[in-house]
Structures are given as structure tokens and as C-alpha cells.
Structure 1
Amino acid sequence: MILGAVLAGGQSSRFGSDKAMAELDGRTLLSRAVEALQAQCDAVVVVGREEAPVPTLPDRPRPGMGPLGGIAAALHHAAEAGYDTVLTCPVDAVGLVGTVAADLAPSPAYCADQPVIGLWPASARAPLDAMLAGTGKHSMRAFAGLIGARAVQLAVLPANINTPADLESAERRSHGL
């Protein structure tokens, strides 16, 4: 069973406002990410924020750990709830295709160009906890290397919305401009 986890705990500093609530074609980035994962996961959670259309989890071990804190929370929840794997995506991954779980399988694997998009085994929670407790490098690629994850080149790469200009560009593309 696959648990989907939308990572939404960032501060949106480059965006300038709450990126998760930004709208593209009348739908928030958060709702788009949740819907993209619902299409291919048995259940979906949002990590790093308190309000969402699905259950939420706080980052682990604490806020401010970046995407790895969100992944740690999702991995622990998955293990406790009986899920084998976790499919993660950031809240700003617009256009995540419905085959990404299959494209990344088997776990562990991640998108080579956007490593926050990944398929992680729930058993990776212990090595991630150790990494986050240590003083070494806390990066997605370091975590992926630690657990032997494969980098996968996705055929369709979702847009990565970091700034209002990125959102405007995505809006133009969605209208064929």
C-alpha cells in the first residue's frame, strides 16, 4: 500500500506569500498536489501545515528541517498505519502525472531533477531519523544515497513553482500561451 505525502511545510520565502494557497486556474497548489497523489495512492496526508483537505502531520523531528522533516513524518506515519511505501511530492509540483508511482517503482527511487518527488520505503525511517539527528549533510540526495535510492528521469517533469513569476508562467502554459 502506498501513502501519498504532500510536503507543504516550507516558508514560501521566494514566493512572498503562502504558496500552498496560491491558485492556478482557480485551484490551489495544495489541492492540485493532493488530487495528483489521490489518483495513485491508497491515502494522502499533508505534512508541515495544520489545515488541508486531508489529514495533516507535523514535520518530524521538528519544523524547519526542510523536506526531510516532512518525509520523516510521513515515513513514521506510514509504518504505524501499515503502508509499505510513501510517495512524496512538494506542494508546488504542478502537473505531477498519474503514473509517477509506477514510474518510480520499485522503491527507493526519486526524480532525478526534483528529488523531493520520491517513492520511499517505510523502513527508511530509521536511517532518516539517524541522519536528521546527526551533524552531517541534511539533503535529499544525501538521504537517497544513504538508503540506496535510484535516480529516475521522469518522462514528464512537473513545473516547480517557486516565485510568482513561475506561477504566471504555469498559468500561461495551461492556457496554451
Structure 2
Amino acid sequence: MTKILGAVLAGGRATRFGSDKALALLDGATLLHHALASLAPHCAALVVCGRDAAPVPTIADRPAPGLGPLGGLAGALLHAEAHGFDAVLTTACDTPFLPADLLAALLARDGAFAAEAPTVGRWPARLASGLIAHLADGGDRSIRRWARSAGLHAVMPGVTVPNVNTAEDLTRLSRRSGNAGTPI
């Protein structure tokens, strides 16, 4: 059985949102809590990347802060590799809900990412050193382009993943009933 680490990528600056998105409330829970809850049923452990404090262990972006989602993914992959995990299942802190069919498609593959939301993916831990080298050499920080160069494929094109970039996005999402999972 594959041992999967769940990682919420939460190191962004939230410039479009205007405040710390991870702590924004949706249906009585923070976006960070919703993101963690979306991963929890599928993972042996959870971490948050790129933050100093969270309700689960935090890990630093690698090889340095400020590298965007790839820095968070690199930190998660290194942590996974060092602690005996086979893979990392990721989402972003501004992605509070993951469609069940998308999760099933990701979990059925050795490695893949969501076509419409590349921060959502299943990443083999063996990719850690290659990603670190890529970032240390100043490589392109597009998660989608790096994933393709690593041989991973996008799954479920056209499937929309709820995402919060602005306060208006949060308001729109809060109006949708029945989407909120149980926060952890």
C-alpha cells in the first residue's frame, strides 16, 4: 500500500486577496482547515508548506522561500522522502474543496496533476532531488511546465476546482450550499 503525505501549499503572499487567505473564513472554518480536510481521508499524515504556524506540522519551502508553489512542493517532497512516504498529495490553501472524481483520478496514478489547477496533484517522492536541482539552478517556476518536464500528465481537463483569489471569490463560494466538508 502506498504511504501518502498530504501537503497544503500555503506560502503565497495573497496580494490579490489583500490579507492572509489561509485564515479567511468559509462556512465557519478557515480556508486552510478546508484544504486540510479535503486531503485528510487520503493521507497517512498532513503538513502545511510555507507557513510558520498551522494546526498540523509545518515545513519550509525548499531550497528557499519565495519560489512559489514549486518551493512548497519541493519542501513536501523532501519531507516525504526523508520520512518514508511514497508520494505527496497536494492542494493549495485557497482551494478549499476537491472534486471526488478528480481525487480518484489522481490517486489512481503514480503521478499526475489537475489540468485546471496544477497545485493539486499526486507527486512521487522520488522527484525531490530533481525538483531541488531545477529550482537551485534557477529553472522555470511554473508548476505545470515542471510537472510535464518530469513526465507527469494533467488529468481531467475541464474539471473546475473551486479557488479563492479575491474577496469576491470567497463571497461567491460561501453562497454555494452543500460544498463545505467537515473541517478538521
TM-score > 0.5 by shorter chain: yes
Distance across 2 between alignment mates of 1:148 and 1:65: 21
Partner of 1:19: 21
Partner of 1:167: 170
Match of 1:32 among 31, 34, 38: 34
Deviation at 1:126, TM superposition (A): 1.4
Partner of 1:110: 113
Q: What SS does structure 2 have at the residue aligned with 1:160?
A: coil
Residues 160 and 166, structure 1, Cα contact 8 Å, conserved in 2: yes
Distance across 2 between alignment mates of 1:90 and 1:103: 18
Q: 1:124 and 2:123 equivalent? A: no
Deviation at 1:106, TM superposition (A): 1.3
Deviation at 1:145, TM superposition (A): 1.4
Distance across 1 between alignment mates of 2:89 and 2:172: 26
Deviation at 1:94, TM superposition (A): 2.0
Q: 1:150 and 2:153 equivalent? A: yes
Distance across 2 between alignment mates of 1:130 and 1:25: 40
TM-score by length of 2: 0.90
Residues 127 and 146, structure 1, Cα contact 8 Å, conserved in 2: no
Deviation at 1:98, TM superposition (A): 4.7
- 5 Å matches for 1:23-102? 23-98=25-100, 100-102=102-104
How big is the alpha-carbon RMSD for the aligned residues of Structure 1 and Structure 2?
A: 1.7
Structure 2 stretches lacking a partner, 5+ long? 180-184
Q: Which amino acid aligns with 1:165?
A: E
Go from structure 1 to structure 2 and tell me whether the alpha carbon gap of 1:175 and 1:35 turns closer, same or farther (over 3 Å shift).
Answer: closer
Q: Which amino acid aligns with 1:45?
A: V
Q: What SS does structure 2 have at the residue aligned with 1:44?
A: strand
How many aligned residue pairs are there? 176
Q: Which amino acid aligns with 1:47?
A: C
Distance across 1 between alignment mates of 2:178 and 2:87: 35
TM-score by length of 1: 0.93
Percent identity of paired positions between Structure 1 and Structure 2: 50
Residues 87 and 101, structure 1, Cα contact 8 Å, conserved in 2: no
Between 31-40 and 82-91, report the one with greater CA deviation.
31-40
Deviation at 1:29, TM superposition (A): 0.2
Deviation at 1:136, TM superposition (A): 3.2
